[in-house]
């Protein structure tokens, strides 16, 4: 079925689905494969020649991973996608595709901490230098471009502090200098932000989060703007031996079918919780792109069609022990490093965010909130009880 003329929710239901190939089964079944047998030596030669399209060896893809890739390329409105084993592997594939020894990378100062560490340790060891830039830089990125600059990496909103970047302004400058724009688009899940309509060349997602959506899968996805970019990414991913297992690819495709309804609930609950936090005297600032005080809020209104369920809270300077009494005894909110699943999370950002272009000056604690699928009024009851504990322990 052609889905490109359909509305977003319809596309999520049907993209990458080929019941005609699988006896009417809607979700492409789990293929677990290493060896693929060919009927003749000619067919085998053709299989290798046609390796980007055919199933010829398990590591290069199976019908299950290809169905997922098709669905995500459709979701992000990209050319084609590549399924990899985690969000971090998607980050690595994108960086190693466009950077070699002697090159220079511009990385947002508000990147997910492992993305930052990849630059300062792994890439530095391979002779790639990195400058971190202020996420609010927009067209000002021009001043940071050097002769060897090959890629600008963006993440919008920023990890932990939720600044929204002016991606079109950055992309315009980058493209004028032949520089690729890579974006970590995990927060919007590709549903609320269409990267290729805003100048991105490579969009990556930790599919572990909203795409899989049920806290039981590690997966990543890289999506390209055009064929040339895709081939470069595909070769890198093949050299690195990246392949996603059939079960995880299947679960991620299944998650995508309900992405829109889950995100609507994450969004509604996230906004309700953020409003509640805003009214608490212990809260210094709510870091949520839908709130006017969030840096880049106007850009979010211009470029995004919604907000997912992840946001931050900057607290006033409070004693550690009172905070622990609150956090350690939450009934519904869990503490964990991930997000994008069905469960709500309330996590202390500790140590504080690593920043160098715009040093982090706030003295209060930073909390990261993920609004899950629970009834938001139950979540607020849990928060009321938690803040009561906190106040009693001050």
Ligand X SMILES: Cc1ncc(COP(=O)(O)O)c(C=O)c1O
User: Which residues are the active-site residues?
Assistant: 59, 112, 184, 209
What is the SS3 string spanning the chain?
Answer: CCCCCCCHHHHHHHCCCCHHHCCCCCCCCCCCCCCCCCCCHHHHHHHHHCCCCCCCCHHHCCHHHHHHHHHHHHHHCCCEEEEECCHHHHHHHHHHHHCCCCCEEEEECCCCHHHHHHHHHHHHHCCCEEEEECCCCHHHHHHHCCCCEEEEEEECCCCCCCCCCCHHHHHHHHHHCCCEEEEECCCCCCCCCCHHHHCCCEEEEECCCCCCCCCCCCCEEEEECCHHHHHHHHHHHHHCCCCCCHHHHHHHHHHHHCHHHHHHHHHHHHHHHHHHHHCCCCEEEEECCCCCCCCCHHHHHHHCCCCCCEEEEEECCCCHHHHHHHHCCCCCCECCCCCCCCCCEEEECCCCCCCCCCCCCCCCCEEEEECCCCCHHHHHHHHHHHHHHHHHCC
- Comparing CB distances to ligand X, the nearer of 206 and 366 is 206
Q: Restricting to residues 248-267, which ones interact with ligand X according to CB under 6 A? A: none
- Comparing CB distances to ligand X, the nearer of 27 and 86 is 86
> Of the candidates 17, 94, 130, 159, which one interacts with ligand X according to CB under 6 A?
159
Q: Which residue is nearest to ligand X (CB)?
A: 87
Place of tokens 């019941």: 19
Q: Restricting to residues 109-138, which ones interact with ligand X according to CB under 6 A? A: 112
If binding means CB under 6 A, how many residues of this protein chain bind ligand X?
12
Interface pattern 335-364 for ligand X (x via CB under 6 A): ---x--------------------------
Please calculate the CA angle 209-213-219 and round it to the nearest 5 degrees. Answer: 50
Q: Restricting to residues 184-243, which ones interact with ligand X according to CB under 6 A? A: 184, 186, 206, 208, 218, 220
326 near 277, Cβ under 8 Å? no
- For residue 90, the minimal CB distance to ligand X (Å) is 7
Residues 65 and 45: their CA atoms lie apart, in Å, by 22
The number of angstroms, rounded, from the C-alpha of 353 to the middle of its chain's C-alpha atoms is: 18
- Comparing CB distances to ligand X, the nearer of 134 and 184 is 184
Q: Does 158 bind ligand X (CB under 6 A)?
A: no
Interface pattern 61-80 for ligand X (x via CB under 6 A): --------------------
- For residue 338, the minimal CB distance to ligand X (Å) is 6
- For residue 130, the minimal CB distance to ligand X (Å) is 17
- For residue 159, the minimal CB distance to ligand X (Å) is 5
Residues 326 and 329: their CA atoms lie apart, in Å, by 6
Q: Restricting to residues 81-100, which ones interact with ligand X according to CB under 6 A? A: 86-88
- Comparing CB distances to ligand X, the nearer of 173 and 212 is 212
- For residue 353, the minimal CB distance to ligand X (Å) is 13
Q: Enumerate the β-bridge partners of residue 345.
A: 334, 370
- Comparing CB distances to ligand X, the nearer of 62 and 86 is 86
- Comparing CB distances to ligand X, the nearer of 149 and 186 is 186
- For residue 312, the minimal CB distance to ligand X (Å) is 13
- For residue 133, the minimal CB distance to ligand X (Å) is 17
- For residue 208, the minimal CB distance to ligand X (Å) is 3
Please calculate the CA angle 46-47-53 and round it to the nearest 5 degrees. Answer: 115
- Comparing CB distances to ligand X, the nearer of 219 and 332 is 219
- Comparing CB distances to ligand X, the nearer of 173 and 221 is 221
Which residues lie near ligand X (CB under 6 A)?
A: 86-88, 112, 159, 184, 186, 206, 208, 218, 220, 338
């Amino acid at each position: 079925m052609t889905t490109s003329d359909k509305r977003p929710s319809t596309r999520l239901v049907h993209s990458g689905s080929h019941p005609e190939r699988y006896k009417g089964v809607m979700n492409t079944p789990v293929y677990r494969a290493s060896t693929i047998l060919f009927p003749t030596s000619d067919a085998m030669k053709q299989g290798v020649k046609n390796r980007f399209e055919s199933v010829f060896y398990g590591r290069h893809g199976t019908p299950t991973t290809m169905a997922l890739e098709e669905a995500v390329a459709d979701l992000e409105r990209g050319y084609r996608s590549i399924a990899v084993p985690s969000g971090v592997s998607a980050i690595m594939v994108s960086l190693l595709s466009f950077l070699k020894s002697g090159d220079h990378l511009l990385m947002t100062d508000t990147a997910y901490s492992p993305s930052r560490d990849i630059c300062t340790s792994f890439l530095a060891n391979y002779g790639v230098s990195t400058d971190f830039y202020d996420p609010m830089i927009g067209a000002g990125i021009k001043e940071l471009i050097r002769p060897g600059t090959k890629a600008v990496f963006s993440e919008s909103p920023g990890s932990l502090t939720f600044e929204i970047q002016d991606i079109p302004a950055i992309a315009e400058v980058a493209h004028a200098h032949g520089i690729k724009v890579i974006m970590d688009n995990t927060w919007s899940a590709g549903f609320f932000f269409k990267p290729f309509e805003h100048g991105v060349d490579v969009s990556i997602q930790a599919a572990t989060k909203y795409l899989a959506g049920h806290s039981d899968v590690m997966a990543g996805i890289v999506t390209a703007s055009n064929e040339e970019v895709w081939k470069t990414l595909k070769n890198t991913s093949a050299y690195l031996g990246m392949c996603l297992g059939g079960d995880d690819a299947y679960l991620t495709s299944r998650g995508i079918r309900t992405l829109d309804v889950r995100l609507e609930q994450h969004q509604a609950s996230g906004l309700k919780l953020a409003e509640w936090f805003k009214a608490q005297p212990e809260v210094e600032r709510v870091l949520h792109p839908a709130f006017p005080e969030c840096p880049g809020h106007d850009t979010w209104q211009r470029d995004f069609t919604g907000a997912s369920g992840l946001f931050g809270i900057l607290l006033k300077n409070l004693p550690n022990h009172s905070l622990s009494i609150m956090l350690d005894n939450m009934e519904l909110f869990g503490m964990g490093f991930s997000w994008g699943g069905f469960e709500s999370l309330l996590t202390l950002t500790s140590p504080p965010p690593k920043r160098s272009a715009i040093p982090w000056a706030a003295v209060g604690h930073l909390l990261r909130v993920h609004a899950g699928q629970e009834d938001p009024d139950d979540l607020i009851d849990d928060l009321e009880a938690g803040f009561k504990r906190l106040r009693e322990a001050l």
